[in-house]
Amino acid sequence: MSSGTGVLDRRRRAVPSDWLTVASLAVLAYASANVLHEGVGHGGACLLVGGAPQLLTSASFDCGTDSLVPSAGRVVAAAGTIANLAAGGSALLAYRHAGERGPAIRFFLWLFATVNLMTGFGYFCFSGIGRIGDWADVMAGVRPEWLWRLVLATGGFAFYWILTRHAFALLSRFIGGRGSDRFPISRRLALVSYVSGVVLYCVAGALNPNGPRLLLISAAAASLGGTSGLWWGTNFLRGGGGGDSSTESPTRIPQDSRVVTAAGIAAMVFVFVLGPGIRL
């Protein structure tokens, strides 16, 4: 029987990955994706269009655009998702060329790419279905409303589904070993990552000065909903999906105190600095 986020060797003895290191990699991936969305995406676009940066938090970026043309606000609203998609695509390319780098680095690249791309495509679904969020601001005033909401929701869902299937095919190859072991191993890795990210976003979001509504429509939605593919996507590997690789044992992520320390510092800054926000 395996434990933690374990893997099994060819003699089926437990050879567990270190769950704290996996959780720490998730904290770093989620925190980085969030800063890219809010700070680099929205914040960078705010400066680019000549807006007035006001407040950066873990769940929002406030930019003064009242004196600018209406399209400036749309650019700022769209830029967060664009930053996530660009970062996710770049990380995916880096993962494909990671070669013989250590398992922690390769798993981080996979997770960082997956979280960013899920967040980006998830925003399309979220705004199309609920008419709230960044892309509802981008499309505000566009008629007929039902059409752009339908396009965003269906397009976002289709890309999200394809991405999730592809991401877990990559994770299956990363894990290696027997195909029958890949579902339980991937499930532990993905769920530890998902729960770590959800907790990080929601704890920081609870400190947001804009109140609980932003916690629900941003922090909780981006983590619980936006990266939910980490929770259900492992089903693509049921029944030994991905085939066997009988000449090698499943990949193990070992304990790494440097990763744990870096994640601890990042989490403290994310929760206690970006949670309540930085006035600009």
Which segments of 206-245 does DSSP mark as H helices, in order?
212-214, 229-232
Mean pLDDT per 10-residue section of the chain, whose length is 280 residues: 45 68 98 97 96 94 90 95 97 91 96 97 91 89 94 96 97 88 93 96 90 71 86 88 58 95 98 95
Report the pLDDT value the prediction gives residue 1, as an integer from 0 to 100. 40
Please, what sign has the CA dihedral across residues 272, 116, 234, 4?
negative
* 5-8 and 61-64 beta bridge pairing: unpaired
What is the distance between the terminal CA atoms of the chain, rounded to a whole angstrom?
A: 52
At residue 133, the pLDDT reads 85
**Distance (Å, whole) CA 280 – CA 278:** 6
pLDDT of residue 179: 77
> What is the reported pLDDT for 7?
47
Peptide bond into 144 cis (omega under 30): yes
240: alpha, beta or left? (left if phi > 0; alpha if psi -120 to 50): left
Sketch the domain layout of the chain as residue ranges: 17-279
Q: What is the pLDDT of residue 240?
A: 63
- Residue 241: the pLDDT is 53
